[in-house]
């Protein structure tokens, strides 16, 4: 889709649909006011390493362990948009994660490996977007409601046709909320080769920060409402000046310590738990090549106090009661070449066959404050290689071999994964 086509879709208020082909049309050829679409993934993996909760605590006992297989529906999403006219539009998106809403049995590492059954509100079925938008002109639009927080490459481009791996990029998907969605206000627009977005939203909840996922679980809410005692801001800027290349900067800043039902006493008046995230990502697509990459760095103030506070929470609180790092980072790059692009016949059929490779480094405990225990297994490198085959434009079949390269005292984590996915608009 050309730049002008992208601007037209954006004007309808469906930013998340920019990469999707086609627009539903009525029989008489006029654009429909109703837009229906979706995306979904079905995957299977065999992991050649133990899935014991003790594999990092006593790695020597699991060096020669048998592997384990997993089948999953990571994301199945349906979205509906409507153009009311006179600049007003609506967008909504419901997401089913891991097959739907059911109770899940887990082994709790912090409770001696006990089995525990949990139902987490928003964990399996989530209203990921619901907003109303007023478009005044291409340069200025106002969106109010539940919206995507476009910090990092994956949050803005999270459909399965927008990354090569069977699963979403592991680094960003570990340390940041993904897909990050909050109720708030967004101001966005396009001008020439630029697009901007500024958001105002409630802050994260530091009660649910953790060692392995840093601030990942701090978005959303385990309650029937989102606490907004502390507010936050986010932004994203995209540039398309070079044909085939997108360069993007994004960031987030907000306090997190008081966004909890448990009110801190006066001894904590100076504690803010400020979260600051900066991210750069890019996408290059030309000459049969696709290259994507991202770098994310985050800092949390008062991490030592938050760690102590969380560990002293009641056993029935939603906090994992774990050490939390002051700094986390993730970096990744992937590149693929479309061999079918060498054939005029295959190009005419819109079939593609990519051979790709990917590298990630991420560490949810990149730096820790004095008194906070550092867990070395939270940092790792990951290398993957595989194929993406598009029999038609909207469907992709994926396969990859990956290996998580752990620090020397731990066991590496190789895996083979396959998956099938779609992303598209449905004709009415």
pLDDT in tens, 45-75: 999 999 998 999 999 999 999 999 999 999 9
Q: Are 178 and 172 in contact (CB under 8 A)?
A: yes
The predicted pLDDT at position 261 comes to 83
Query: What pLDDT band is residue 117 in, cutting at 50, 70 and 90?
Result: low
Query: What pLDDT band is residue 225 in, cutting at 50, 70 and 90?
Result: confident
Q: Residue 284: CB partners within 8 Å, gap ≥ 6?
A: 244, 245, 246, 290, 291, 292
Q: How far is CA 301 from the centre of its chain?
A: 23
| CA-closest candidate to residue 166, choices 78, 45, 51 | 45
Furthest C-alpha separation in the chain: 71
| pLDDT tens digits, 344-385 | 999 999 999 999 999 999 999 999 999 999 999 999 999 999
Lowest mean pLDDT among 38-42, 96-100, 324-328, 403-407: 96-100
Domains and CATH numbers, the chain: 3-102+117-425 (2.40.160.10)
User: Which helix (H) or strand (E) is 403 found in, with range?
Assistant: strand 395-405
**Average pLDDT value for the chain:** 89
Query: What pLDDT band is residue 421 in, cutting at 50, 70 and 90?
Result: very high
Tokens representing residue 182 in the block: 């909050």
Tokens representing residue 272 in the block: 């803010």
pTM over 0.95: no
The predicted pLDDT at position 314 comes to 87
Distance in angstroms (rounded) separating the CA atoms of residues 132 and 138 = 16
| pLDDT tens digits, 288-302 | 999 999 999 999 999
Lowest mean pLDDT among 148-157, 214-223, 395-404: 214-223
In 124-230, DSSP assigns E strands to 125-137, 140-148, 181-191, 194-202
Q: How far is CA 27 from the centre of its chain?
A: 37
Helix, strand, or coil (residue 64): coil
pLDDT surpassing 90 at residue 30: no
Q: Percent of the chain, pLDDT > 90?
A: 76
Query: What pLDDT band is residue 190 in, cutting at 50, 70 and 90?
Result: very high
The predicted pLDDT at position 122 comes to 38
User: Which helix (H) or strand (E) is 9 found in, with range?
Assistant: helix 3-11
- The DSSP secondary-structure symbol of 344 reads H
Lowest mean pLDDT among 112-116, 192-196, 213-217, 262-266: 112-116
Q: Is pLDDT larger for residue 366 or for residue 127?
A: 366
CB-side exposure of 295: number of CA atoms within 13 Å? 3
Q: What is the CA radius of gyration of the chain?
A: 22
Helix, strand, or coil (residue 301): coil
Distance in angstroms (rounded) separating the CA atoms of residues 233 and 229 = 14
Q: Are 167 and 131 in contact (CB under 8 A)?
A: no
Q: Percent of the chain, pLDDT > 70?
A: 87
Tokens representing residue 192 in the block: 């020439």
The predicted pLDDT at position 223 comes to 82
Q: Are 206 and 214 in contact (CB under 8 A)?
A: no
Distance in angstroms (rounded) separating the CA atoms of residues 63 and 78 = 42
Alpha helices in 264-374 (DSSP H): 303-311, 344-349
Tokens representing residue 66 in the block: 């048998």
Query: What pLDDT band is residue 104 in, cutting at 50, 70 and 90?
Result: low
Query: What mean pLDDT do residues 398-402 have?
Result: 98
Q: Is pLDDT larger for residue 343 or for residue 2?
A: 343
Q: How far apart are the first and last CA of the chain?
A: 21
The predicted pLDDT at position 102 comes to 54
| pLDDT tens digits, 232-255 | 999 999 999 999 999 999 999 999
Distance in angstroms (rounded) separating the CA atoms of residues 146 and 75 = 18
User: Which helix (H) or strand (E) is 88 found in, with range?
Assistant: strand 88-96
Lowest mean pLDDT among 13-27, 70-84, 277-291: 13-27
The predicted pLDDT at position 400 comes to 98
pLDDT surpassing 80 at residue 99: no
Residue 28 phi, psi (nearest 5): -80, 0
**Residue given tokens 């959303």 in the structure block:** 220
Query: What pLDDT band is residue 115 in, cutting at 50, 70 and 90?
Result: low
| pLDDT tens digits, 4-24 | 444 333 343 443 334 343 344
Tell whether the torsion through CA atoms of 167, 170, 172 and 178 is positive or negative: positive
CB-side exposure of 273: number of CA atoms within 13 Å? 32
The predicted pLDDT at position 91 comes to 96
pLDDT surpassing 80 at residue 410: yes
The predicted pLDDT at position 257 comes to 94
């Amino acid at each position: 889709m050309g730049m002008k086509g992208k601007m037209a879709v954006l004007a309808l208020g469906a930013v998340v649909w920019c990469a999707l082909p086609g627009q539903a049309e009525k029989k008489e050829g006029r654009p429909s006011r109703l837009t229906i679409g979706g995306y979904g993934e079905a995957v299977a993996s065999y992991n050649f390493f133990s899935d014991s909760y003790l594999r990092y605590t006593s790695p020597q006992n699991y060096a020669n362990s048998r592997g384990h297989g997993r089948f999953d529906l990571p994301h199945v999403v349906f979205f509906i948009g409507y153009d009311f006219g006179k600049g007003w539009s609506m967008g909504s998106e419901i997401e089913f994660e891991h097959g739907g809403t059911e109770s899940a049995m887990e082994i709790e590492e912090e409770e001696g490996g006990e089995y525990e059954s949990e139902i987490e509100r928003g964990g399996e079925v989530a209203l990921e977007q619901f907003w109303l938008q007023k478009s005044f002109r291409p340069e200025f639009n106002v969106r109010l409601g539940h919206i995507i927080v476009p910090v990092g490459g994956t949050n803005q481009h999270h459909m399965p046709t927008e990354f090569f791996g069977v699963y979403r990029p592991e680094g960003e998907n570990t340390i940041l909320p993904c897909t990050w969605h909050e109720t708030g206000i967004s101001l966005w627009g396009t001008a020439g080769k630029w697009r901007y977005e500024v958001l105002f939203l409630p802050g994260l909840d530091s009660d649910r920060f953790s060692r392995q996922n840093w601030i990942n679980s701090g978005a959303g809410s385990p309650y029937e409402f989102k606490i907004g005692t502390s507010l936050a801001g986010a932004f994203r800027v995209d540039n398309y000046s070079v044909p085939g290349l997108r360069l993007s900067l994004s960031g987030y800043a907000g306090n997190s310590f008081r966004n909890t039902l448990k009110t801190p006493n006066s001894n904590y008046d100076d504690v803010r738990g400020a979260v600051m995230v900066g991210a750069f990502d890019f996408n290059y697509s030309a000459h049969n090549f696709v290259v994507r990459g991202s770098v994310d760095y985050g800092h949390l103030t008062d991490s030592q106090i938050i760690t102590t506070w969380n560990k002293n929470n009641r056993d029935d609180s939603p906090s994992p009661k774990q050490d939390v790092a002051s700094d986390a980072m993730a970096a990744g790059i992937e590149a693929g070449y479309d061999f079918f692009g060498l054939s005029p016949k295959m190009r005419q059929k819109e079939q593609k066959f990519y051979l790709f490779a990917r590298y990630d480094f991420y560490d949810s405990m990149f730096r820790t404050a004095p008194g906070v225990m550092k867990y070395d297994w939270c940092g790792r490198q990951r290398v993957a290689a595989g194929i993406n085959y598009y029999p038609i434009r909207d469907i992709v079949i994926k396969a990859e071999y990956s290996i998580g390269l752990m620090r020397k005292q731990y066991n590496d984590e190789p895996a083979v994964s396959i998956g099938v996915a779609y992303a598209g608009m449905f004709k009415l």
